[in-house]
Structure 1
Amino acid sequence: MIAPLAAREAFLEWLAQERRASPETVEAYGRDVAELLGFLANHQGEEPDLAALRLADLRAFLAHRAAQGIGASSRARQLSAIKTFLRFLVRRHGLAPLPLGGLTGPRRKPPVPRALTESQARTATTDSAEDSPAMAARNQALFTLLYGCGLRISEALSLDMRDAPRAGVGLRVMGKGRKERVVPVLPAVEQAMAEWLRHRGPATPDAPLFTGAKGGRLNPGVAQRALRDLRRATGLPEHTTPHALRHSFATHLLGGGADLRAIQELLGHASLSTTQRYTGVDQAGLLDTWRRAHPRAD
């Protein structure tokens, strides 16, 4: 018989020493396993025998947690911790493997995207925390593109000079799954891009549109750090990230009365259900065209 408490301690030591898990993770996993062991002790009326553990016992535990009002996200995380614990026991203590693949956790509801306000989005696309005028222009062009066209950061940074956005000309974007879409370009995007290109100077059509300090294609981490610095310098909220600008694009269009199916096409979502997450975000105003809906269309 595997001693439950000793097994738990050995598991936590393994997490900390070999897996190099953070103290917060070790604490959370320890709590999750302790709750399972406590449930099994009450469920079986004695010290639980882990060697006799069945999938039915685990399902009963998850049902018990749901009845206690524990949210789906917490239960899913707890199941992940328990699966890790049981696999550890199989490897280190000879526990007979359980068919854990047949044990599915609760579905996590995708979080409602956190958008910026229109004022915050304007700050993110017009202010700068850079000392270099060239880098300031580059960042403003990039962030204006993310917000003005709803691009993913990877899509924006994969653009070449030949793709430089121009108002009135659709921008071709290669999205996930090599799926191409065409998005309209606002005058504000073209203006910000023109300022960056003035600093960037001439280049061949296949050269990267956005470059780093050494001239190579801009790294996503550098762009994320630039927005983080801007966030700290201007007091923007913590959720101000490149992807939040894309969220804000969709949210502000939806709030302005744009059609959900049109937003799906602009974002490059394969499924409308993905786009429908934005209906949970604040909506205000009623405008019936894309250009009039977008706050930066002036």
Structure 2
Amino acid sequence: MRVEAGLARNTLAAYRTDLEGLGRWLGERGVIDWSDLDEDRIIEWLGHRRTGGAAETSVARGLVALRMLVRFLILESGLKKDPTARIPTPKLKRLLPATLSPEDVERLLGVFLVDGQPPDWRAERDTALLEVLYAAGARISEALGLTTNDLPPDLSSLRLHGKGDKMRVVPLGRRARAALERWLENGRLTVVRQRKAAGAGMASSSVFLSRSGRPLDRSSGWRRVKEAARLAGLPESISPHDLRHSFATHLLAGGADLRAVQEMLGHASIRTTEIYTHLDVEHVQTVHRMHHPRG
């Protein structure tokens, strides 16, 4: 299914979780074969998810996952009918992404520094990670998926591997380059040497490493961003994706071309990028109401 649909790894994992949950729910009700699944059961399952507290986005995703499975079974296993055909996909509100102010970004990116410098290898790594997330608009999975082969010698850009294994090159600014260079030449090198000295073999080629020399995993990356937000006095809801949203919004607010921002974000459709123009319009309207004498 992943190969045919070009699904990203995280999307595939979410679909698998949805379908496994559906399988357990059906099993509890005596439905043991996908061919016995009918429209009424699906509607009941969607209602069960809602009453269980699932967000409407999760409910919609579960239905999409089921539709993909049914389509696969029709093509490959001779399933005769599509029980999802007449079920409408839940309508979702188009929520505007959360965006940090430039001042909040400054506080967040500098939170691990002492007198302008990182005090240890972990601070070097975490500062470099935060800088990459904001400077390149990278998803957390893209940043943590970077290897040393994705970096040119001058660190002027990053080669990011996005959804559906699509690759793009994004430029890096001066401060992000400095933070990344500091981590690569100091903290990361220390971790690599310690692993070798301990007889544990070569460290991973990943840019961002754990203390053991293994790739920093997604949950650890999330925790470090959350810790940075806490130390900076920002809301606990701050996530790595908020830095990506801020990257796009700040570029557009500064006059960047929409198509260029689309390329840097790795969006397949310009419509996905356009949400950031709506966000900036809302900000302008708020400023107008607050400061214009006739606002």
The bucket for the TM-score relative to the shorter chain is 0.5 to 0.7
One-letter amino acid of the structure 1 residue matched with residue 188 of structure 2: R
Alpha-carbon distance, 1:170 to partner: 3.3
Cα RMSD of the aligned pairs, angstroms, is 3.8
Match of 2:261 among 260, 263, 274: 263
After superposition, the C-alpha distances for 1:49-98 in whole angstroms (9 at most, x for unaligned) are: xxxxx98xx9xxxxxxxxxxxxxx879969x99xxxxxxxxxxxxxxxx9
Alpha-carbon distance, 1:238 to partner: 3.0
The structure-2 alpha-carbon separation of the partners of 1:113 and 1:119, relative to structure 1 and needing over 3 Å to count, comes to: same
CA–CA distance in 1 between the matches of 2:57 and 2:164?
A: 32
TM-score by length of 2: 0.60
CA contact (8 A) 2:159 2:168 kept: yes
Alpha-carbon distance, 1:224 to partner: 0.7
CA–CA distance in 2 between the matches of 1:109 and 1:218?
A: 34
- Percent sequence identity over aligned pairs: 37
Alpha-carbon distance, 1:162 to partner: 3.0
CA–CA distance in 2 between the matches of 1:266 and 1:105?
A: 30
One-letter amino acid of the structure 2 residue matched with residue 210 of structure 1: F
Equivalent residues in 2 for 1:1-298 (5 A)?
Answer: 99=83, 101-128=85-112, 133-164=120-151, 169-197=156-184, 198-201=186-189, 207-282=205-280
Alpha-carbon distance, 1:125 to partner: 1.3
What stretches of structure 1 of length at least 5 have no aligned partner?
1-14, 20-53, 59-72, 82-97, 286-298
The structure-2 alpha-carbon separation of the partners of 1:205 and 1:187, relative to structure 1 and needing over 3 Å to count, comes to: farther
SS of match in other structure, 1:282: helix
CA contact (8 A) 1:167 1:189 kept: no
CA contact (8 A) 1:162 1:205 kept: no
The structure-2 alpha-carbon separation of the partners of 1:199 and 1:260, relative to structure 1 and needing over 3 Å to count, comes to: same
Alpha-carbon distance, 1:129 to partner: 8.9
CA–CA distance in 1 between the matches of 2:180 and 2:102?
A: 20
SS of match in other structure, 1:217: coil
CA contact (8 A) 1:164 1:193 kept: no
Alpha-carbon distance, 1:100 to partner: 5.1
One-letter amino acid of the structure 1 residue matched with residue 207 of structure 2: L
CA contact (8 A) 1:181 1:268 kept: yes
The structure-2 alpha-carbon separation of the partners of 1:129 and 1:213, relative to structure 1 and needing over 3 Å to count, comes to: farther
The structure-2 alpha-carbon separation of the partners of 1:244 and 1:166, relative to structure 1 and needing over 3 Å to count, comes to: farther
SS of match in other structure, 1:102: coil
Alpha-carbon distance, 1:280 to partner: 2.0
SS of match in other structure, 1:171: strand
After superposition, the C-alpha distances for 1:156-183 in whole angstroms (9 at most, x for unaligned) are: 1111123346667332222112212111
> Between Structure 1 and Structure 2, how many residues are aligned?
206
One-letter amino acid of the structure 2 residue matched with residue 201 of structure 1: L
CA–CA distance in 2 between the matches of 1:215 and 1:236?
A: 30
What stretches of structure 2 of length at least 5 have no aligned partner?
1-20, 26-38, 44-54, 64-81, 193-201, 285-295
CA–CA distance in 1 between the matches of 2:274 and 2:171?
A: 21
CA contact (8 A) 1:147 1:245 kept: yes
CA contact (8 A) 1:124 1:230 kept: yes
The equivalent of 2:17 in structure 1 is none
The structure-2 alpha-carbon separation of the partners of 1:74 and 1:168, relative to structure 1 and needing over 3 Å to count, comes to: closer
Alpha-carbon distance, 1:109 to partner: 3.0
One-letter amino acid of the structure 1 residue matched with residue 110 of structure 2: T
CA contact (8 A) 2:57 2:92 kept: no
SS of match in other structure, 2:280: coil
CA–CA distance in 2 between the matches of 1:76 and 1:221?
A: 20
The structure-2 alpha-carbon separation of the partners of 1:75 and 1:263, relative to structure 1 and needing over 3 Å to count, comes to: closer
One-letter amino acid of the structure 2 residue matched with residue 140 of structure 1: T
One-letter amino acid of the structure 2 residue matched with residue 107 of structure 1: K
* Structure (1 or 2) with the larger CA radius of gyration: 1
